Structure 1
């Protein structure tokens, strides 16, 4: 992309500012030592929600204004908060950053749709639960998880998916890719990367895959690595915690295994 006219969504001119500027309603870029953080204003906290065209114009102004304080090929982490972004908008942001030799690598969001779009585009994703309003009374601690995150994608090397609930992948997790979930992890394909279920300490969580070839498995604080000699034939399997640590069983035998408090190891 060589000019603003190539952006797939029309850009409007930001009206002239007639009052004080609220930094929380503006696109911001700050340096965090090894990377840059690109922060979008949250929808919930802005009295007059900025449109995509306004955000796009602000981003271009930030990138083109003044002295650039970053090095070429610097990694960028996008903090989208509760801002809803689709695949085209994420690509437009990535293209704008690329013009300044910056690389979008990670997306932080509280919106499921944004998390799905970012993961499908091949970015590392961390989905956090929405922040409660300031005037809301704090509730008692709860173990209720976020709604499951469904992704139809291949998690490639270097990509990390974080979610405060269960994660279901319709695809594969390649070596070097990782899934970190507060709930269960289900991979409808080959699991060859890192999977960490029950990341907040829930030992009841499970890791399931049609083909279990992980680099590393973690459930709560329990850790297991792949065997040195992989099996000659693979079956759909489930990993779970026992008093002896993480065990793996065929899914067809898992209920029996649980009831007998035994593990069917490889």
Structure 2
């Protein structure tokens, strides 16, 4: 299947609580779900994209729609803490269990990976090695990951946009860890549960660099408290460089200062996992990505 097939139908599940959704819009002009829709349409022009907010009370699929009617479901990042029992986390996990049961292939980034983990019986916890902010460094595929289609095209070590304070503690039974780094053991994984398959990453292949800089500014207080910056001004200065690289991705001086290469600076390369997931859908409509 070519990723530009016009018949593709995608459902984007945005689990940001309303307050976080509005803060993000004020910061970068779009919610996490809106970012996903925009990115998916770049990868699959002509696709039909619907958006749902499963953590919100009363959230429903579009009229007449069913989970099984979509080619793929995409779970966005979110500030939800999946180790806490709240109405929002319960609704998000229940939605993901329904996705698994529907058999529709799914993909998630950051909290999306964590939601799928908990829904399938794994656990999530606060980061044990501290805040991973701006970029996850030296992500390394596992032996299984090196041959897995989710990571096709990624080198032996790579960086990616990432901002998270939580991590997967234990993967569900039968899940496959595909990549990790020094800070976060589970940077990518495949989870199969109740007839469904999920591919996910702890980082953010969907983000543009202006959204990375926006996240840094929104979370400046946490970055200072974690000792990653000495002040709000230092966070702003770093974010300014990331923002400048967004505007001029060919600037080698900025890439050098930030320690980045084309795995992050090139938009097409940055979206590798999303493109691989869409391509792996393949075959009959709704067919699941397969294990290598």
TM-score, with structure 1 as normaliser: 0.29
User: Which gives a bigger RCO, structure 1 or 2 (Cα 8 Å, sep 6+)?
Assistant: 2
Larger proportion of strand = 1
TM-score, with structure 2 as normaliser: 0.27
Larger Rg: 1
